[in-house]
A and B are shown apart, each in its own frame.
Chain A
Amino acid sequence: MGRFRTRRDVFRLAGYSAAGLALAACGVQGQKAAPPKADAVKDFWAKQTKNGKVVFANWPEYMPGDKGPLERFKKDTGIAYEYKEVIQENADFFGKADPVLRAGQSLGYDIVVMTNGVQLQHMLELGYAVPLDHTRLPNFLANAGQKFKERSYDPGNKYTVPYASGVTGIAYNTDHVKEEITSIEALFDPRYKGRVGMMNDAQEIGNFGMFAVGVDPEKSTEADWKKAGEKLKAQRDAGLVRKYYDQGYIDAVSKGDVWVTMAWSGDVFQRQLAGEPVAFVVPEEGGTIWTDNMLIPKGAANPLDALMLMDYLYQPAVAAELDEFIQFVTPVPAVQDLFREQAKTAGAKEKKALDAMIDSPLMFPSEADYAKLRTYTTLTNEQEQVFNPIFQSITQA
């Protein structure tokens, strides 16, 4: 009759309703951001001053060991730097950054480097990147290649400038693989059973699955993803794949734990330079080209110093020093000429290394080379919720 029999019942009910209220109260807020007004951007930058410090968050193996370019920056501008190799995977990094930025707090980094792809797209859509002041990016304006100024994922470089581009292809250990690999079929070859490495990232592995079934990822549909998924599932179930890797693949292939693996171009060249038995190839079915981009996350403590460093890296001499080590595609085309000049005066051994770089289609791709390469598919949130499970059900089984 609506009457409580004992005092305990009343307490219990009170407890339940409190718990219910608490449950209902904790929601997670959405954060779709409107594009900033031009004036606001101008005002923001007008207020910034040089703080003499910059914190740069980047991927491993993406800066010479002596931090040459950063040391030069420090000498020329008096800005001290902290360099942190904290980004191993876009998804993982974004997943950790998202709650922090959502809460309006600072990541503690002034520059972060992210690959064009769904996570970068989310970063920009959610308003997590500070719009750049192009009047303070003279070197970028003067020296960046035309291709690097026309980014489909960030028109007009509003929020990002490229750090480097690279190609996802196949690496193999030449001690164990005696043939020359040219086709993606090598990753599905029963002779390499248990010696194949694939990538854990849904987009990377998804793209290669699509190449293997003859689909262009840029034009792919849900049916294509499923088809690619089946091909990759068969590959796993046949025991071909040893493991689904993040950045760890490069150690595995150079040690010989895996013989054939999906790989990022520059990583492999760096290992070759260190004398390790690895080779890189873009399979004839296709490879993916991607670009890693620098951006200033919302709440960064030293945005002006960050912007100065971004621009500094676009000086041809600095870009050349960087690229000679990282061996990816530099956004500064003048680097190729600088290498040519250096090669004229270099010793025999260094000349050979420089010549190899100058001619490498993976460091200075021609238009024809670009034509063979594909970019990541752009996925909407709804598509992502279909795409990810298809490939995660393979990598995370």
Chain B
Amino acid sequence: MRRLTPYLLALPGWMWLAIFLVVPMVAMASVSLQTGNAYDGYAMTFSFSNYGDALGRYSTQLLRSLVYGALATAAMLLIGYPVAYWIAFKGGDRKSMYLFLLLLPFFVSFVLRTISWNFLLADNGILFGTLKDWGLLPDDFHVLATTLAVVGGLTYNFLPFMILPIYVALERVDPRVVEAAQDLYATRVGAFRRVVLPLSLPGVFAGVLMTFVPATADPINAQILGGTGNTMIGNNIQTEYLVNLDYPTASALSFTLMAVLLVGIFAYARALGTENVLEAAAR
């Protein structure tokens, strides 16, 4: 009995994974190979051409999503790393308050926050309207309905998921290690580059993982903040599922996206020299 205990304890977790991850994935894989329509039903025909068709129609949007996801992730890293660093090393007693402030806006729903940007950034809204009245911006200046708005929205919406893992990694860095580096005649920049940065890389890795994947797949920012040429693959998947009721195409697109993201992540892990992706992320 004692030997079985750990397995029994893990059972709910396994069941959860099986029911909510494995079953839907198998169902989706199955639907992605079917043909038919919503009225007569879909039947399994092992039609692998669904993938080719879907990719042929939406390769532009897929590529665009990857680019937007990468841009947003880079921006989050640039903004997030210094913030995490500052809180971890200079936060002092107020660390938890800063973290709380950071998370506070995220208690509001994702969609509502994105719509608020729509309001704040309106062409003649409280920000740009005022600047235009003062003559600081040309009249036809606008941010909404541009690539900048979409990438900016993604950056804003996923930023905490970048900051928190980096913070956790940096927080664990023993200040005495940095002191030791300086005692050994490292400059401040040198100590950061050769001691702090390498120690924080697992956090960076986890942060990138947790932001790049959802940012690439996100349909909301493109829908609310984007314009005519900003459609992302998430929007296409949504349309295929909900508007066209073309479940096979939608499933094939979802799977393709998942595969591309997985390949991307493993390539990235390789490049970063992380031996085991998941272990690094969990650290």
List the interface of chain A (C-beta within 8 A of B). 19, 22-32, 91-92, 94-96, 98, 122, 125-126, 194, 202, 236, 241-244, 248, 255-257, 381, 385, 388-389, 392-393, 396-397
Contact = CB atoms under 8 A, between A and B. Distances in A.
A22 B28 CA distance: 11
Contacts of B231: 396-397
Contacts of A244: 228
A26 B227 contact: no
Contacts of A126: 39
B228 A28 contact: no
A30 B39 contact: yes
Contact of A95 (B36, B122, B241): B241
Interface of A is mostly: helix
8 nearest A-B residue pairs (beta carbon): A95-B242, A30-B41, A91-B243, A30-B40, A23-B30, A28-B42, A26-B30, A26-B27
Among A25, A30, A393: residue with most chain B CB under 10 A: A30
Contact of B43 (A22, A27, A96): A27
Given A23-B44, A30-B39, A194-B140, A255 B239 contact: no
B40 A28 contact: no
A95 B245 contact: yes
A254 B149 CA distance: 21
A275 B77 CA distance: 45
A396 B180 CA distance: 57
A241 B144 contact: no
B235 interface: yes
A241 B39 CA distance: 34
A22 B38 contact: no
Interface in B208-237: 224, 226-229, 231, 235-236
Contacts of B31: 26, 28
A194 B39 CA distance: 39
Contacts of B44: 23-24, 27
Contacts of B241: 95
B130 interface: no
Interface in B1-56: 26-27, 29-31, 33-34, 36-44
Given A95-B245, A242-B228, A397-B60, A255 B124 contact: yes
B123 interface: yes
Contacts of A22: 26, 30
